[in-house]
Amino acid sequence: MMRMRRPSAAFWLVLPAMLLMGVFFVLPIVASLLLSFTDFDLYALARWDHLRLIGFENYRHLFTDPLFFRALTNTFYFVALGAPLSILASLFFALLINQRMVCGQGFFRTVFFLPVVTTLVAVAVVWRYLYHPRSGLLNYVLSLLGIEPMDWLGDPDWAMPSLIIMAVWKNFGFNMVIFIAGLKSIPRRLYEAAEVDGAGAFDQFRSITLPLLAPTFVFVVIVTLIGYFQLFAEPYVMTQGGPSGRTLSIALLMFEEGFRWWNLGYAAAISFVLFLIILSGTLIQMCVRRLL
């Protein structure tokens, strides 16, 4: 009796969540793949018989589209510079806050975490103003140091680094909290034992903290990579992808092709490539984790 009843209860408990996820996530993903083999665009939106099946044409075009290449390079640049910076900053501050001698640990944790919970569009308003070439505070501070004013968001070479600085400021608290938790789970007696053996602070860090923090580290790397590859709101609000397309990200290109020009087929191909990139990035991390 019991065995008959329980599965059916489980079924009903799980059903709503699975149904919602199936209909509003899995189904669209599959549809997106199908969409990427069509030339669904505004013409097709107006009349269904303007829709053509075009096989791999969208993907073929992707690899000859200079704009896609630009978006690809920009995104990798953002990830390659932003992710390590963000992770190092969070690790650094996690280690610092976690020192027993630091007072006000809770205060610092809260302060550093605050940017994480705030709305990106809202903080972009401030940062855009801080970066303003003439009236921005950043250039004012630089001028006090005798440095020429810079056009942060308007200079092709500086626009992406400017977005990275803002992104690191906004995100590092997230990983920091996870690192702190990871550090706290390391038994204190290990350090005490090492101290008895006469190991210095650096030796302790290398032989205890690092190896025991490895799982947390891999998790943080995966989450950060997934997040950073999806770069969208920062360039959308701050630079609209400019100057000369130097802050155009893959997700922004997908948005532009899909929801600005309504080339839905092409945009679906872009979103799929983004998916594949993130997937392979995660798989690589998983392998690394196995090895550790």
Partner 1 sequence: MKPLNGGRLLAHVILLMAALFTLFPFFWMVSVSLMTVEDMALFPPPLTPVHPTLKHYQVLFDELAMGRYLLNSTLIAAGVTMSSLFINSMAGYAFAKLHFRGRDGLFRLLLAMMVIPSQAAMLPLFLMIKQLGLINTYAGIIIPGMSSVFGIFLIRQYLKSVPDSLLDAARIDGAGEFRIYRSLILPLSKPVLVSLAVFTFMGSWNDFMWPLIILTQEDRYTLPVALANLMGEHVQDPQLMMAGAVLTILPVVLLFLLLQRYYLEGLVAGGVKD
Partner 2 sequence: MAQRLTNLMLKLWRGSLVAFLVGVLGFLGCSSEPQDTPLSFWVLGGEGEAVRLLVEAFQQETPDVRVVVQQIPWSAAHEKLLTAYAGDAMPDVFQLGNTWVPEFDALGAVEPLMLSAREKEDFFSGILDSSTVHGRLMAMPWYIDTRLLFYRRDLLLAAGFEAPPTSWSEWLLMMESLRDRTSGQFKALIAPLSEWQLPVILGMQSGASLLDAEGCFGRFQAASFRAAFHFYIELYEKGFSALMGDAQMTSLYQDFADGRIAFYVTGPWNIGEFHRRLPPSLEGVWATAVMPGPTGPGASLAGGSSLAVSASSRHKEKALALVEFMARPQSLLTLYHATGDLPPKRSVWSDPLLLASPPLKAFRRQLDRVIATPKVPEWEQIASKIVLYAERSARHEMTEEEALLGLDRDVDRLLSKRRWLLSGACDQGRAP
Does 259 contact partner 2 by CB under 8 A?
Answer: yes
Does 244 contact partner 2 by CB under 8 A?
Answer: yes
Q: Which of 41, 86, 97, 228 binds partner 2 (CB under 8 A)?
A: 41
Give the whole-angstrom CA distance, residue 147 versus residue 21.
Answer: 53
Q: Which residues, 6+ apart, have CB-to-CB distance to 227 below 8 Å?
A: 171
- With CB cut-offs between 5 and 8 Å by kind, which of partner 2, partner 1, none does residue 102 bind? partner 1
Q: Which of 1, 66, 119, 145 binds partner 1 (CB under 8 A)?
A: 119
Does 189 contact partner 2 by CB under 8 A?
Answer: no
φ, ψ for residue 90, nearest 5 deg = -70, -40
For residue 243, is the peptide bond before it cis, meaning its omega torsion is within 30 degrees of 0? yes
Does 5 contact partner 1 by CB under 8 A?
Answer: yes
Does 52 contact partner 2 by CB under 8 A?
Answer: yes
Give the whole-angstrom CA distance, residue 268 versus residue 247.
Answer: 21
Q: Which of 154, 275, 288, 289 binds partner 1 (CB under 8 A)?
A: 275
DSSP 8-state class, residue 148: P
Does 161 contact partner 2 by CB under 8 A?
Answer: no
- Least distance CB 240 / partner 1 (angstroms): 10
Q: Which two tokens stand for residue 268?
A: 């679906």
* Closer residue to partner 2, CB minimum distance, 50 or 206: 50
Closest to 41 in 3D by CA, of 269, 263, 254, 255 = 263
Does 42 contact partner 1 by CB under 8 A?
Answer: no
Site track for partner 1 across 19-38, x = CB under 8 A: -xx--xxxxxx-xx--x---
Does 198 contact partner 1 by CB under 8 A?
Answer: no
Distances (CA, A) of 76 to 48, 230, 245: 37, 11, 14
Q: Which of 35, 38, 39, 220 binds partner 2 (CB under 8 A)?
A: 39
Closest to 29 in 3D by CA, of 268, 270, 288 = 268
